[in-house]
Chains A and B, each alone.
Chain A
Amino acid sequence: MILEVVLLALAWMALTGDWSPAAAVFSLVLGWLLLRLARPLGGEGFRRVRLARLPGFLLFFLKEIVVANLTVAAAVLAPSGRLRPAIVAIPLALDRDAEIALLANLITLTPGTLSLDVSPDRRTLYVHAMSTSGPDDLRREIQQGFERRILEVFR
């Protein structure tokens, strides 16, 4: 809660460009009020956040974004015969709302893959991929890539 309030306050001050003490107090109070208001909407949060592992996670994510954007650039320019799209069911090892939401967002952010749906029992994530050599390859890629990294940082 405190971390969230501070992050919101920093975002507020960065956006308004006002770093005066008055702005700091105002943004902290505002952030706290907003979180109070939003709390009924939230699902389960993370169990824990290993801050020391966060930078490595972000670097891995940046690398994935750049590599994947180039792949998609090639796919967009190449003849459409090269596309091999599929909707693949990915069994989840994650079980918290926040963890699943993070994984789904990361998958959507890396080009070429789009999270479509989560099964009602929240054990399976359905992902659309632009070009895949096979459903099993995509399953392995996500389980050993993003999902493993999320487990490392948030468990």
Chain B
Amino acid sequence: MSLLVALLLVLGALFMLLAGVGLVRLPDLYLRMSATSKAATLGASLVLLGAAVHFGTAAVAGRAVVIVVFLFLTAPVAAHAIGRAGYRRKSPLWSGTIVDELADADPDRKESA
């Protein structure tokens, strides 16, 4: 059992570390949001799951499950809000971006980009 707990904790921490590395390495706001919001959600969920298995009581497991559900409900809303706000504030896209169909749809934005 403790092996499973250790595995969950280490995997969770690993995903959060990857999110951090992505934040530093990736070249623009959108890519950074992409890397951090999900990997951090998965990482935190795995750590919570590890805690639930470790304590093994309904009270802890129930709380852990509810927290995971709330994380999965709220994290994408926050990521979407930040990404959209960034686009509206014209946070620059990385030069390697192959196509921006949102700019094509809105000539006003294309002009000022």
Contacts and interface: CB of A to CB of B under 8 A. Distances in A.
Contacts of B10: none
A117 B100 contact: no
B34 A73 contact: no
Interface string A7-21: 000010111010000
Contact of A85 (B38, B77, B83, B93): B93
Interface in B35-60: 35, 37-39, 41-42, 59
B105 A114 contact: no
Contacts, number: 134
A73 B25 CA distance: 12
Nearest to B78: A108
Contacts of B105: 89, 119, 124, 126
A108 B99 contact: no
B38 A110 contact: yes
29 contacts: A14-B66, A69-B38, A73-B18, A73-B39, A76-B25, A80-B27, A84-B98, A85-B96, A86-B99, A86-B101, A87-B100, A87-B102, A87-B103, A104-B76, A104-B80, A108-B76, A108-B79, A108-B80, A109-B72, A110-B38, A114-B79, A115-B83, A116-B30, A116-B84, A126-B101, A126-B102, A126-B105, A128-B34, A130-B35
Interface of B: 15, 18, 21-22, 25-28, 30-31, 33-35, 37-39, 41-42, 59, 62-63, 65-66, 69, 72-73, 75-77, 79-80, 83-84, 87, 93-94, 96-105
Given A69-B15, A86-B101, 13 more contacts: A11-B69, A13-B62, A17-B59, A69-B38, A85-B98, A87-B93, A89-B102, A105-B77, A108-B76, A109-B75, A109-B76, A113-B34, A128-B30
